[in-house]
Amino acid sequence: MTDPRTPEDQTQPSGLQTPDGQRRILTPGSDLNPRREFMRSAALFTGTVAALGGGLEVLTRRPGAGSAEAQAADPFSRADRPLGPYDTDEKVTPYQQATTYNNFYEFGTDKSDPARLARSLKTRPWTVRIDGEVRRPQTVDIDTLQSWFPLEDRVYRMRCVEGWSMVMPWLGFPLAGLIRRLEPTSKAKYVQFTALLDPKQFPGQRQPVLKWPYVEGLRLDEALHPLSFMAVGLHGRALPGQNGAPLRLVVPWKYGFKNIKSIVRITLTEKQPQTTWALAAPQEYGFYANVNPAVPHPRWSQATERRIGELGRRKTLPFNGYADEVASLYRGMDLRKNF
Ligand SMILES: Nc1nc2c(c(=O)[nH]1)N[C@H]1C(S)=C(S)[C@@H](COP(=O)(O)O)O[C@H]1N2
Ligand SMILES: [Mo]
């Protein structure tokens, strides 16, 4: 297949890659601080849930999804099913590219590291600790957690802060359903997510490239928005390790780094939680990280993006094209300050 990197990516000097896609040259002695339709029929859901829960790679296929051959080549396509209100009808990024061009610094800072090294990620058994401002703190097995909700498909744009984008067909469930089930206390104002800390499995965690474990967060109203999604699958299959198995966050109106992978803990908090990239470079990455073509990154414009698999660049849309759905969450806020 063709090299998915842009010419600009390829001409970057070598060095540590930040989530902004620029490579920084580290000098000796530097402190390394770089630094569609909604739900399917109940019957289909059952099949999907069972398949995922059993750890099978290929999930139940949808009816009317085209020839078996086409499916084998790329099991998820636009024509697969009627689109739901939150789905984009843009061309889906092929599985091959979505699973070989990744940011997952626990595996390393090159786009090709995660696909190469994620094979060893052990995603069963896997538990998720739920704590903080909730009525019932608990540790729940991933298969149990998954069984609480019917799986839904969502075809979302994803825009990395580095200036590239993809269209991802996720499988999962809305975050709002999970949060409601946990019964937040009246003090809960934010949700913090923590990724797995395990330097044995994550070679990248043996380097202080970032402060480990990777953490992210949302305001509670953002987390309750119907677009906010917990993904457990991609392209009709269980989520591959490199894309954040077994559980990752998807908030499509924000830059990609908010979409924390391989989550082991969800904590409801009263105060705004720390987030990994804002800790690493607070002048460059904020807590909100809403996609905003009008606010450049300190080192490059955010006005355009390269859609992986396409030539040239396209315009970046406010809130990544989800302004109608989410702009009201930020009414009255200065989005230049709250970047
Ligand atoms: N735990 C963890 N989650 C992470 C990252 C990471 O390094 N570690 N990188 C983020 C960044 S910068 C992006 S763009 C997306 C990439 O998701 P994808 O590989 O599924 O496209 O994951 C995000 N989630
Ligand atoms: Mo990113």
Q: Percent of the chain having pLDDT more than 70?
A: 76
Q: pLDDT tens digits, residue range 206-225?
A: 999 999 999 999 999 999 99
Least confident of 41-45, 65-69, 247-251, 258-262: 41-45
Q: pLDDT tens digits, residue range 233-245?
A: 999 999 999 999 9
315 has pLDDT over 50? yes
| Residue whose CA lies nearest to ligand 1 atom number 4 | 260
Q: pLDDT tens digits, residue range 129-148?
A: 999 999 989 999 999 999 99
d(CA 283, CA 149): 39
| Structure confidence at residue 76 (pLDDT) | 52
With a CB cutoff of 8 Å and minimum separation 6, the contacts of 31 are none
50 has pLDDT over 50? no
Burial class (CB within 10 angstroms; exposed 0-12, middle 13-18, buried 19+) of 168: buried
170, 202, 261, 277, best to mutate for ligand 1 pocket (most atoms within 8 Å of CB): 261
Averaged pLDDT for residues 26-32 = 27
| Residue whose CA lies nearest to ligand 1 atom number 20 | 243
79 has pLDDT over 50? no
| Structure confidence at residue 331 (pLDDT) | 97
| Residue whose CA lies nearest to ligand 1 atom number 24 | 260
Least confident of 45-49, 152-156, 254-258, 262-266: 45-49
Pick among 3.90.420.10, 2.60.410.10, 3.40.640.10, 3.20.20.70: CATH of 16-330: 3.90.420.10
Say which residue, 227 or 17, is predicted with more confidence. Answer: 227
Domain boundaries, the chain: 16-330
> Could you say which ligand is closest to the alpha carbon of residue 280?
1
Residue 81 pLDDT grade (very low, low, confident, very high; cuts 50, 70, 90): confident
- Ligand 1 first shell, C-beta below 6 A: 19, 102-106, 158, 160, 195, 214, 243-244, 256-257, 259-262
Averaged pLDDT for residues 255-261 = 98
Averaged pLDDT for residues 85-105 = 96
7 has pLDDT over 70? no
Residue 65 pLDDT grade (very low, low, confident, very high; cuts 50, 70, 90): very low
| Structure confidence at residue 150 (pLDDT) | 95
Q: What is the 3-state secondary structure (H, E, C) of the chain?
A: CCCCCCHHHHCCCCCEECCCCCEECCCCCCCCCCCCCCECCHHHHHHHHHHHHCCCCECCCCCCCCCHHHHHHCCCCHHHCCCCCCCCCCCCCCHHHHCCCCCECCCECCCCHHHHHHHHCCCCCCEEEEEECECCCEEEEHHHHHHCCCCEEEEEEEECCCCEEEEEEEEEEEHHHHHHHHCECCCCCEEEEEECCCCCCCHHHHCCCCCCCCEEEEEHHHHCCCCCEEEEEECCEECCHHHCCCCEEECCCEEHHHCCCCEEEEEEECCCCCCHHHHHCCCCCCCCCECCCCCCECCECCCEEEECCCCCCEECCHHHHCHHHHHHHHCCCCCCCCC
Q: pLDDT tens digits, residue range 159-196?
A: 999 999 999 999 999 999 999 999 999 999 999 999 99
| Structure confidence at residue 42 (pLDDT) | 34
Compute the mean pLDDT over every residue in the chain, rounded to the nearest whole number.
Answer: 83
156, 162, 257, 260, best to mutate for ligand 1 pocket (most atoms within 8 Å of CB): 257
| Residue whose CA lies nearest to ligand 1 atom number 8 | 104
| Structure confidence at residue 120 (pLDDT) | 84
10 has pLDDT over 50? no
d(CA 253, CA 291): 6
